[in-house]
Amino acid sequence: MSEDTFRSVEIERASVGQYVVRNVRGGSMSMGTGQDASFTPVELLLAAIGACTAIDVDHITARRAEPTQFSVEVTGDKIRDEAGGNRMQNLRVEFTVTFPVGADGDRAREALPRSLQQSHERLCTVSRTVELGTPVSIVDAASTGD
């Protein structure tokens, strides 16, 4: 992997069920089990799916007109499947985007459906990874047995 393709985050335990996620640029956020206001891992997955497409769509449509409203709702059902494992199903990303009246707004409205399709089919790394079912490997890098 090259520096251009490699991505990473680090997660540090703050206390039981509470963690801090950090990126290489110095950003951080709390994550937990849902016992407080911290985002849960499933909520972060939903946020990543929606934000990835939102960024694509915003970059494409905002070249034509600044939206007057731009919101995204991402929903899904957490289930236990036949194999007894937890997973999400019925994932849905719903955009509510409006543009001002006029020629620029018309161009942005016209670009919106195609930008949604391009993001979903080609540009959004997150939803494409989920849909393609990329394997995840779990590694115990430093089992010390303290």
Select from 30, 34, 24, 37 the least CA-distant residue to 12: 30
Fold of 40-132: GMP Synthetase; Chain A, domain 3 (3.30.300)
* Domain assignments of the chain as residue spans, ordered by start: 7-39, 40-132
pLDDT band at 75 (very low <50, low <70, confident <90, very high): very high
- Global pTM value: 0.89
Mean pLDDT across the chain: 95
* Residue ranges in 14-140 assigned as alpha helix (H): 41-61, 103-118, 125-132
Q: Which pLDDT score, from 0 to 100, does residue 1 have? A: 58
| Structural contact between residues 14 and 30, judged by C-beta atoms closer than 8 angstroms | yes
3-49 per-position pLDDT tens digit: 789 999 999 999 999 999 999 999 999 999 999 999 999 999 999 99
Query: b/e string for 115-137 if b means 16 or more Cβ within 10 A?
Result: bbebbbeebbeebeebeeeeeee
Radius of gyration (Cα) for the chain, nearest Å?
A: 19
Q: What is the share, in percent, of the chain residues with pLDDT greater than 90? A: 92
126-142 per-position pLDDT tens digit: 999 999 999 999 999 87
Q: Which pLDDT score, from 0 to 100, does residue 141 have? A: 85
- With a cut of 70, say whether residue 111 has pLDDT above it: yes
